[in-house]
A and B are shown apart, each in its own frame.
Chain A
Amino acid sequence: SQKIEQNSEALNIQEGKTATLTCNYTNYSPAYLQWYRQDPGRGPVFLLLIRENEKEKRKERLKVTFDTTLKQSLFHITASQPADSATYLCALDITGGYQKVTFGTGTKLQVIP
């Protein structure tokens, strides 16, 4: 069956360090992989998208990698800040924009001052 797995346990890191979140998937061939941030009581907010033919994408302190052989994406936040504390969701789009996206369960990140 198809699965999208993210670390279900919360990730606690010290301010200033790099946070690395993992998204693994099975039985999918995604055209795009997306990352979202969700704060308590709010809807998810889009952060980054990476295509199947891209290895890495950066935006300010954020970096996403995409390994279609390993079926894994890594999401990095460098120089983390307490304001980065939130739940981060990965989502797969298997048809390149024409169908629904499927979300992972999310990883809760806590950046400790």
Chain B
Amino acid sequence: GAVVSQHPSRVICKSGTSVKIECRSLDFQATTMFWYRQFPKKSLMLMATSNEGSKATYEQGVEKDKFLINHASLTLSTLTVTSAHPEDSSFYICSASRSGGLEQFFGPGTRLTVL
């Protein structure tokens, strides 16, 4: 149990376009989802925390207008990178946790390359 999927696993887009990444909890209800960003050979940096039905809480320095997060259901959260630029190229990882749950279950990640 506790499987989290991400789609797509890999995406290449042109500069200026928007890209949507989906994070799904496949076999449990995820009241909280987290979005992380990881640069090559770097650690995971938390971008935002989203609770189902609420606006996401962004970490300091993360542009909420650029990284739109929607958590409309208990099994799906989406991250949209708007007007992507080459510096947005990164590995994006989501995780999900149950209500009151301590443990985060991580998705396999999405590698975004912006040309």
Is B truly associated with A? no
Residues of A within 8 A of B (CB): none
